[in-house]
């Protein structure tokens, strides 16, 4: 059952020739409505990009924070806000991480944060939802849609009420001014323009 699914109950009212259908929100789903804080220790924001035309480089941002507001009865009123610390980029190779932090790419000293602010939310069917908003990298802000799957909700051993989502999106890094590259002798370029973003989010309901 989807996070924002409504349970349908139909009641026939003998008024004229019609029947009136009423919708009741499933109490279990409505209970998830509220404000949540992303638990960075149990969440990840990552990326995958093609390197030298033949393989993929994967990385993540270790430091990030954000909030969610969920509306169980009306998904269009749900929101998300995420701040990512660029200097926390980690691909497993220190020299490469340093290059990504430099002016060739993110220029982390001048632009320390990558941010996402949602503007719209909508169900796609089942447990899948689309969050649309504005992604800001460096001094460029452009629209981004993220397709998310709701993984469920639970109360952890400390009594925290949690929800989980995972999803992905694809962007062209050049759209955000990340254009550095190097030509290969055999043809092609060192770093692809297309980047896949991945999100694995665990969020705790605020008291």
Residue-level pLDDT at 120? 96
pTM comes to: 0.84
| C-alpha pair distances (Å), 178 with each of 5, 48, 90 | 39, 15, 17
DSSP 100-141: HHSTTTT-TTT--EEEEEEEEEEEEETTEEEEEEEEEETTEE
CA distances from 29 to 32, 34, 62, 76, 129 (A): 6, 11, 31, 15, 15
Nearest to 47 by CA among 106, 90, 111: 90
* pLDDT value for 27: 53
Task: Measure the CA–CA gap between 169 and 158, rounded to whole angstroms.
Answer: 33
Separation CA 178–CA 137 (nearest Å): 9
So what's the pLDDT on residue 30?
64
Tens-digit pLDDT string for the chain (207 aa): 344 433 333 333 334 444 444 334 445 556 789 999 999 999 999 999 999 888 999 999 999 999 999 998 788 899 999 999 999 999 999 999 999 999 999 999 999 999 999 999 998 888 889 999 999 999 999 999 999 999 989 999 999 999 999 999 999 999 999 999 999 988 889 999 999 999 999 999 998
Neighbours of 129 (CB within 10 A): 22
Q: Which residues contact 155 (CB under 8 A, 6 or more apart)?
A: 161, 162
150 exposed, middle or buried (CB, 10 Å; 0-12, 13-18, 19+)? buried
Q: Cα separation of 1 and 134, whole Å?
A: 29
Spell out the alpha helix ranges (H) of 9-159.
Answer: 27-30, 94-101
pLDDT at 17: 43
């Amino acid at each position: 059952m989807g996070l924002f699914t409504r349970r349908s109950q139909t009641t026939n009212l003998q008024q004229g020739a019609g029947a009136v259908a009423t919708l009741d929100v499933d109490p279990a789903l409505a209970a998830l409505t509220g404000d949540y804080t992303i638990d960075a220790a149990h969440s990840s924001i990552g990326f995958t990009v093609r390197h030298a035309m033949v393989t993929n480089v994967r990385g993540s941002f270790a430091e990030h924070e954000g909030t969610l507001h969920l509306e169980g009865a009306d998904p269009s009123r749900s929101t998300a806000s995420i701040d990512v610390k660029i200097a926390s980029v980690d691909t497993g190779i220190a020299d490469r991480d340093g290059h990504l932090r430099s002016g060739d790419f993110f220029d982390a000293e001048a632009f320390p944060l990558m941010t996402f602010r949602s503007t719209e939310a909508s169900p796609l069917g089942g447990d899948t939802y689309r969050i649309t908003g504005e992604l800001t990298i460096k001094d460029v802000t452009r629209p981004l849609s993220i397709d998310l799957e709701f993984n469920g909700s639970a109360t952890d051993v400390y009594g925290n009420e949690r929800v989980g989502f995972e999803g992905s999106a694809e962007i062209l890094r050049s759209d955000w001014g990340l254009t550095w590259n190097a030509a290969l002798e055999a043809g092609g370029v060192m770093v692809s323009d297309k980047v896949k973003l991945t999100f694995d989010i665990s969020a705790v309901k605020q008291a």
